[in-house]
Amino acid sequence: MKKTVFKGAATAIITPLNENGVDYEAFGRLIEWQIAEGIDAIVAVGTTGEGSTLTDKEHREAIKFCVDTVAGRVPVIAGTGSNDTEYSIELTKYACEVGADAMLLVTPYYNKATQKGMIASFKAIADASTKPCILYNVPSRTGCNLLPATVAELAKHENIVGIKEASGNISQIAEIAALVGDSIDIYSGNDDQIVPILSLGGVGVISVLSNPMPRATSDICKLFFEGKIEESRALQLRLLPLVNALFSEVNPIPVKAAMAAMGYGKNYLRLPLTPMEAANEEKLLSLMKKENLI
C-alpha cells in the first residue's frame, strides 16, 4: 500500500491578491490561522488559488511561500497541473525542489485529451516528480472526465497515490473505489459529498469550505473516522446552506468574498473572474454571520 499524503481535510487555499500582485501578508496570516484551527493539509495555488491567472513567477513564488510558511507542520500539496504537459513537468520539478510534500494534477483542460492521452500525460509528470502525485478530476471545469478504468491504470504508477474526485458522480466514484482498492486514496472534491465519499472508503476532502471553516470541515472527517457517523452526517448537512452559497457562483468568486469579509485580504479577483453579485454576497455573508464567522 502506498503512503497516504494526508487523511482528513485539506484546504484548497485562496491566494489573496490585490492590484500589485499576491498579498503575502494576508496569505501568511491565513496559513497560520488554518494550521491553528487544525486543518490537516493545505493545497496551494490550485483552482481556488487562482493558479490559472497567476504568472509563472507568481505561481512559483506562492508555492514556495506556502511551503516555507507551513514549515513542515502539515503537508503542502502544490497545484502543478496544466493542459501543457511539459509546463506541468517543469512546475512539478520546481515544487519538489522547494519542498512541497505532494502535487495536485488537474486533468488537461481545453484540449480535452483522450483517456490514452491523459494516461500518457499523467505518467510523464509522475515520472518527473520526486514526490507523490494526486490526480484531480473535475470535468465540469476541464471538459474531460477521468474514467474509472483510467484511474485504475494510473494507480499502478508508484508516484500516483490519490485522486481528488469532483465529478459529482457518486456511481463513478464507487466504481473507482471498486477498481483501485487500496492502491490509491480517494478524496472528495465537493464539499457537499464528503460523507458519501468517506462511506465509499475515501480518506478525506480537498475543500473550499475549509477556507472559512477549517475546524468544522476537518471535524466532519474526524467524526466519521471515529465511527460517529450520525454526528458527521449532521455536521455535513448543517453546513450545506453555506456550502451552496460558496458555490452560488463559480469558485473561487464566493470564497474570495467570504475570506475578505473575515479580514484575509481584499475581495480582488483577476479577469475573467469578477466579484460576486450583490444578492448572492448578501446571502453568503448572512450565513457566515449565523456561523459566527463575521
Active site members: 136, 164
Interhelix angle 115-128/85-97, rounded to 10 degrees, is 30
Largest separation between any pair of C-alpha atoms in the chain: 49
* DSSP 8-state secondary structure symbol assigned to residue 2: P
Q: How far is CA 16 from CA 60, 93, 161, 236, 269, in A?
A: 15, 25, 29, 27, 9
Q: How far is CA 157 from CA 53, 77, 278, in A?
A: 30, 18, 47
At 106, give phi and psi (nearest 5°). Answer: -75, 150
Q: CB–CB of 132/2 below 8 Å?
A: yes
Q: In the Cβ-directed half-sphere of 106, how many Cα atoms lie within 13 Å?
A: 31
